[in-house]
Amino acid sequence: MNLKLPVYLDYHATTPVDRRVFEAMRPYFSEIFGNAASATHPFGWQAEEAVRQARSQVVQLINASDPKEIVWTSGTTESINLALIGVATVYRDKGNHLITCVTEHRAVLDTMKYLEGKGFRVTYLPVDQNGLVDPDEIRKAITGKTILVSLMAANNEVGTIHPIAEVGKITKEKAIFFHVDGAQSCGKIPIDVQSMGIDLLSMSAHKVYGPKGIGALYIRSRDPHVRVAPLIHGGGHEGGLRAGTLPVQNIVGMGKAFEIAGQGMEEEAIRVMRLRDNLKEGIVKQLDDVFLNGHPTQRLSGNLNLSFLGVKAGDLMMKMRDIAVSSGSACTSGSLEPSYVILALGVGEERARSSIRFGLGRFTTEEEIDFAVEKTVEAVRTLRK
């Protein structure tokens, strides 16, 4: 077995930069180094053209109508803040009510808490035992004061994929804005802002084999035209919505990463799903009291979240030092508290404290899956003794 240790199975936390992405970025560090805002010489023109091409690559993946609808940010967290705070600020005179879900990423939940402190009212909808939000509950929660619904396309912990298109139809009927956190979904499952009725979409590069430190926010320009107040001021970059010199090399990397993801999305999903199913089957055939968290079929192909009753997740990860896994979001991995996402499924604290997230991706191999099965079973048996 030609196996390199440790084995990386935490692709939801971050991904390695694809070699093709790295090669596309390379010239923009020292050869094509101009400022994209320098409009008076070839160095700036080259950089500006690279940024334009990257916008087009992002537009193509999500089926946006205009490259100008893409605003570059430092990552999904900033994109979420810009979308939620930006819309709330502009449309406060139309209403002060926002709707989201209890299993959202902290970037959404903490921003909503911030807006509550500013006088906004937020409804946090529950999920069922599979982690799905009920679109009818969203419809019921909408009032005359509602201005926006925010929902992640795919959950970062349990992989459940929400019925985004169905929710989009509801928000269109009610003439309110729909923001989607696409960090875990863009490049992994089809996301079409037109057919799904998405008005704002937060995106990340490093979740899909691009560089860290770069993300984007799609803002619909017509039907309806969405206005957003900027968070960062100075210089008028990005149509006045996000000031700061553009990191051209990272933008090029995000564009290339999205292009590659769009070209091989279906084939990659099938391959990764097969490996994920082999991992699950290998574990549950040898261990009792192992439970799947999240939807059994309506989930990301690379996500496997399992609870091992009688074992604490922290102890299990310590026993599996040669395998990189997690017990929840990377942003909360240092917390000793059980996952709020698993708790929201209504499965109890024991399952929440014993849950492990395996994240498979583009470079996961069969040998790594076989190794993970062996070491996971061995560690669980040892701890249960």
Q: What is the pLDDT of residue 332?
A: 54
Beta-strand ranges (E) seen in 138-228 are: 146-152, 177-181, 200-204, 215-219
In the chain the domains, ranked by start, together with CATH numbers, are 7-16+265-384 (3.90.1150.10), 19-260 (3.40.640.10)
**Alpha carbon of 194 to those of 99, 226, 346, 357: distances in Å?**
21, 14, 34, 32
Q: What is the pLDDT of residue 329?
A: 61
Neighbouring-strand partners of residue 141: none
Q: Is 354 helix (H, G, I), strand (E, B) or coil?
A: coil
Q: What is the pLDDT along the chain (385 residues), one digit of tens a residue?
A: 579 999 999 999 999 999 999 999 999 999 999 999 999 999 999 999 999 999 999 999 999 999 999 999 999 999 999 999 999 999 999 999 999 999 999 999 999 999 999 999 999 999 999 999 999 999 999 999 999 999 999 999 999 999 999 999 999 999 999 999 999 999 999 999 999 999 999 999 999 999 999 999 999 999 999 999 999 999 889 999 999 999 999 999 999 999 999 999 999 999 999 999 999 999 999 999 999 999 999 999 999 999 999 999 999 999 999 999 998 765 555 556 899 999 999 999 999 999 999 999 999 999 999 999 999 999 999 999 9
Yes or no: say if 94 and 147 are a contact pair by the CB < 8 Å rule. yes
Yes or no: say if 347 and 129 are a contact pair by the CB < 8 Å rule. yes
β pairing state of 200-204 and 215-219: antiparallel
Yes or no: say if 112 and 98 are a contact pair by the CB < 8 Å rule. yes
**Continuous H helices in 75-131:** 76-90, 106-117
Q: What is the pLDDT of residue 369?
A: 98
Q: Is 182 helix (H, G, I), strand (E, B) or coil?
A: coil
Q: How far apart are CA 365 and CA 371, in angstroms?
A: 10
pTM of the model: 0.97
Q: Is 253 helix (H, G, I), strand (E, B) or coil?
A: helix
**Catalytic member of 102, 265, 331, 347:** 331
Q: What is the pLDDT of residue 235?
A: 83
Annotated catalytic residue 331: yes
Q: Is 17 helix (H, G, I), strand (E, B) or coil?
A: coil
